[in-house]
Amino acid sequence: MQPGTLTLAMQILVIVILTGALWWGIGRAMRVRLPLADPERARRIQALLSLGQSLLRAVVLITALLMVLDLMGLNLGPLLTGAGILGIVVGLGAQSLIRDLLAGLIVVLEGPFGIGDLIHTAGVSGKVERITLRATYVRDADGTLHVIPNSMLGVISNLSWDWARVIVDLPVPRGTRLEALQEALEQATRALREDPELQDRWLEPPTVAGIETIGETALIVRVEAKTRPADRWTVARRLRYHLLQALQTEPVPLSEPG
């Protein structure tokens, strides 16, 4: 092997090693967890870091490739000019990719959701695990990971934003005495407020909203509670439990026929 060839191979090897180190280092640096008290700000910054990781790695890879081509003696001027013309041609056929990239930037800049948020979009509901320039990764309740191109996100419903309202509709026979029913429901909400499993899980105590609808054979009574987003399902289950327990412990009598 000629000395010049050996030197060229060593230089290329150094570039490859440095590129690999930078690739690894960017991944490690972007996985840092910042001690922020505001969860919303933390999720937004985490999404920005995830997007920044993809962008920085792309820059490192392209720079390393150009350096290797320069060492090999290729004239980058005509190559870049040709790449520009080729880019125009490819761009005409890669509009969906461009839309994905722009949508990814908008997601991070506007912050409709972040890493760890529960969202519903593109017919999928789940937890956001990763955001890149190209796609958003959402894992649903049964563990399936959905990779959604950013341009296909469409309408985004964020289930983790600030607060959630738990609504439980309870059907009872139409002839039920309303005074006794109200007392049973109030008893259930008091039990829920004292439930040790739900300490500090709501923002407003549960209340009886009243009769929602009147059917031919049943009344629909609504009970509501304002909770933290992540606790909505636990609070709803415990609320149903206490409602049924109150109605079974003290059966609500029916009104006497007129």
Token look-up 């030197």 returns 7
pLDDT band (50, 70, 90) for residue 134: confident
C-alpha–C-alpha distance, residues 73 and 137, integer Å: 41
C-alpha–C-alpha distance, residues 10 and 202, integer Å: 63
Residue 149 has pLDDT above 80, yes or no: yes
| Candidate ranges 65-74, 160-169, 185-194; pick with highest mean pLDDT | 160-169
Residue 199 has pLDDT above 70, yes or no: yes
C-alpha–C-alpha distance, residues 81 and 173, integer Å: 79
Is 169 within 8 Å of 220 (Cβ atoms)? yes
Residues 235-255 have pLDDT tens digits of: 888 888 888 888 777 666 654
Averaged pLDDT score across all residues of the chain: 77
48-72 mean pLDDT? 76
C-alpha–C-alpha distance, residues 159 and 163, integer Å: 9
Prediction pTM value: 0.59
**C-alpha separations of 108 from 48, 101, 113, 122, 175 in Å:** 6, 11, 8, 18, 55
Residues 74-116 have pLDDT tens digits of: 665 565 555 554 455 455 445 666 777 778 777 777 778 888 8
| Candidate ranges 55-64, 86-95, 121-130, 201-210; pick with highest mean pLDDT | 121-130
The pLDDT value recorded for residue 89 is: 45
Residue 14 has pLDDT above 90, yes or no: no
Residues 24-44 have pLDDT tens digits of: 887 777 666 656 556 656 666
The pLDDT value recorded for residue 76 is: 59
Length of the chain: 258
C-alpha–C-alpha distance, residues 53 and 102, integer Å: 16
Residue 147 has pLDDT above 90, yes or no: yes
C-alpha–C-alpha distance, residues 182 and 70, integer Å: 81
Residue 193 has pLDDT above 50, yes or no: yes
Percent of the chain whose pLDDT exceeds 90: 8
C-alpha–C-alpha distance, residues 124 and 48, integer Å: 22
Give the chain's domains with CATH numbers.
3-158 (no CATH), 164-249 (3.30.70.100)
C-alpha–C-alpha distance, residues 30 and 32, integer Å: 5
Token reading at 82: 């040709």
126-143 mean pLDDT? 88
Could you tell me which residues come within 8 angstroms of residue 134 by beta carbon, excluding any fewer than 6 positions away? Answer: 54, 97, 100, 101, 104, 149, 150
pLDDT band (50, 70, 90) for residue 172: confident
